[in-house]
A and B are shown apart, each in its own frame.
Chain A
Amino acid sequence: MTTLLPHKFGPYGGQFVPETLMPALIELEREFVSARNDPAFNAEFDKLMASFVGRPTPLTYAKRLSEKLGGAQIYLKREDLAHTGAHKINNALGQALLVKRMGKKRIVAETGAGQHGVASATAAALLGLECVVYMGSVDIARQEPNVFRMKLLGAEVRPVESGTKTLKDAINEAIRDWVTNVRDTHYLLGSALGPHPYPTIVREFQSVIGREAREQMLMDAGRLPDTVIACVGGGSNAIGVFSGFVNDEAVELIGVEAGGSGIASGKHAARFGDATKARVGVIHGTRTYVLQDDDGQIAETHSVSAGLDYAAVGPEHAMLRDNERAFYTSVTDEEALNAFQTLCHTEGIIPALESSHAIAEVIKKAPTMRKDQVILVNLSGRGDKDLNTVIKELGTNM
């Protein structure tokens, strides 16, 4: 059986799912290809992006942060200002429009930080779809405000108690629901992960970030950035912004993983950063770098940021790393929390803890660059949802 679109990224990607789901993946691919060639579909998507999401999101020159770091000039792509507070809405709305086109009435979604759950619930409310969100009970505890948001938007939030009770297990449950109800249900996967065609679909809907950012850089700074930095959990915001610059060979692309308590501690989610625990494997339908033990059991991960706390990385990132088109590094919980505060103080922006990982890398990298050089950082989401975590982590320091 052949696919309409390439189903692998070099040796990564693929469709490692039970047979029951294969026809749904084939239908989804066919529908996506036909939708992307349909001017009416694209016009509807663009209209919603403008009138509902508030796109284009601004590009902000971070003047005080740039001065403080004393090196490269720093620009922020403000996905935190997209409706619902993160880039996740771009993909959620795109897929929800596909669901309508396929004539399905119900969506299931997984969520870690809750941003994708909120985006899915929002898209479902807007388009009149039934929505069930699976969320690990550990994540429910640390992202409470988003749980309320999803419920207010009419979604049912189902706590997941199996395994590590985080994003990985929420994906398992969403897939189990999907395999049971596949005839009338779409799985609205939130990151550039999972079986083909999801990594491609998610990248395409998120590529709006990179397209806008490239134009805005040329307009505002009069040039392309030297470096683009984004955090990488599954990797959807990163692949979205990278896609705008991947053909500009002079632009360096850097993905930032969650270093948790440090690589040596073993408590982290750095799939590219830990050669002892990360190997190429298969999880949730895709072949990619996976944190696992010697026997191939998926490892527990840790990050202060729920959205980066996942054992595998999107397959396209694995290919970009092999090709040395993109580079990947990690920052610790502590570095991310410091960056969170720095951005609050210097720019008046409260970033999501996920995005704070990208800012932490900027703080390390900018001082090593010249003042006439430019860094673009994707500020993937806002931090309101993280206040409970931050207050707890910083204790009396707040």
Chain B
Amino acid sequence: MNRIETAFQKKPIFMPYFPLGYPDLETSVDVIEALAKNGADLIEVGLSFSDPLADGPVIQQATQVALEKGITVKKSLEAVKELRKRGVTIPLILMGYFNPMLAYGLEKFIHDAREAGADGFIIPDLPLEEAEEFQSMLIAGRVDGDVLSPSYRDLPLIQMLAPTSPDERMEAIARNAKGFIYLVSVTGVTGERREISNDLGELINRVRAHTSAPVCVGFGIGTPDQAKQVGQLADGVIVGSACVKAIGASDNPVEAAREFAREFSKALKSIDL
């Protein structure tokens, strides 16, 4: 059983997002370690990009700071390695836009990500239509000198579904889903919303009709109460902007991360299934 499958043994899981390099590289590693050791079941580790078109203001601003402080793909992968050294055992999924990965070299990126200890990828600007190039590299493995390394099949490219996806797309996307499904709960960019949509249960059921993979919901979840509400319906709750905002605004980011993880994981554990 790989790390992702292990994480989903106990549902719903808590999945915070935090970008490496914010507010600086060292603090971000401490923050992610603190999230991991205080209740996060899986962490989306953010790679920064200058033009994050699926992100709202909070994540835009945080990743902009990370870039100004000199974050790169290479430094981000080294930070993942450091997290493993510090005894972080939960799955770490790299979440980033496609262009920096292309610039790094896709094969090298996948190879180095696994070496560093990453468990998978979320790439918001790589829909089904464009995912094949990346997927085929995960399957084929990499020729390194004369040594054919094993394939990277165990590293999933997480597929995203949206409320606008019609059933036939949902089916095509969910059919081969690995790891889990990232269900975007609202049309829009990342960021907190005042209320959880009434239609969420129905949306999740539509997805479940096509897959047995865990369904995790993200975009718009900002409070432990909202997390609990979503956790009653989904297998995982993804919290991005609210996490970045709470930790970024604190004088003691590491303590804020501990508190944030404890609160959300407590809310999810209190669900009476």
- Real complex partners, A and B? yes
Q: Are B127 and A17 in contact (CB under 8 A)?
A: yes
Taking the complex as formed, is B265 at the interface, i.e. its CB lies under 8 A from any CB of chain A?
no
Task: Name the CB-closest residue of B to A15.
Answer: B129
Nearest CB of B to A29, in Å: 12
Task: Name the CB-closest residue of B to A298.
Answer: B50
- Taking CB atoms, residues of chain A closer than 8 Å to B127 are 15-19, 22
Residue in B64, B99, B164 whose CB lies within 8 Å of A296: B99
- Taking CB atoms, residues of chain A closer than 8 Å to B140 are none
Q: Are B172 and A283 in contact (CB under 8 A)?
A: no
Complexed CA–CA distance, A366 and B52 (Å): 44
Q: Are B169 and A296 in contact (CB under 8 A)?
A: no
Question: Beta-carbon contacts of A1-41 to B below 8 Å, as 1s and 0s?
Answer: 10100010000001111111111100000000000000000
Taking the complex as formed, is A175 at the interface, i.e. its CB lies under 8 A from any CB of chain B?
yes
Task: Name the CB-closest residue of A to B161.
Answer: A19
Nearest CB of A to B110, in Å: 15
Interface stretch (choices A88-96, A178-186, A318-326) = A178-186
Taking the complex as formed, is B209 at the interface, i.e. its CB lies under 8 A from any CB of chain A?
no
Q: Are B188 and A179 in contact (CB under 8 A)?
A: yes
- Taking CB atoms, residues of chain A closer than 8 Å to B67 are 297
> Which bucket holds chain B's interface residue count?
35 or more
Nearest CB of A to B77, in Å: 12
20 extra interchain contacts, Cβ-Cβ under 8 A, other than A19-B173, A282-B97, A295-B104?
A1-B169, A16-B125, A17-B125, A17-B127, A18-B124, A18-B160, A18-B184, A20-B163, A23-B166, A176-B56, A179-B54, A179-B189, A180-B189, A280-B102, A282-B99, A292-B99, A297-B50, A297-B67, A298-B51, A298-B99
28 CB < 8 A contacts A-B: A1-B129, A1-B172, A3-B129, A16-B125, A16-B130, A17-B125, A18-B125, A18-B162, A18-B184, A19-B160, A19-B161, A20-B163, A21-B164, A23-B165, A163-B50, A179-B189, A180-B189, A183-B187, A284-B53, A294-B103, A295-B72, A295-B100, A295-B103, A296-B73, A296-B102, A296-B103, A297-B50, A297-B100
Name A residues whose Cβ lies closer than 8 Å to a Cβ of B.
1, 3, 7, 14-24, 162-163, 168-169, 172, 175-176, 179-183, 279-285, 290, 292, 294-298
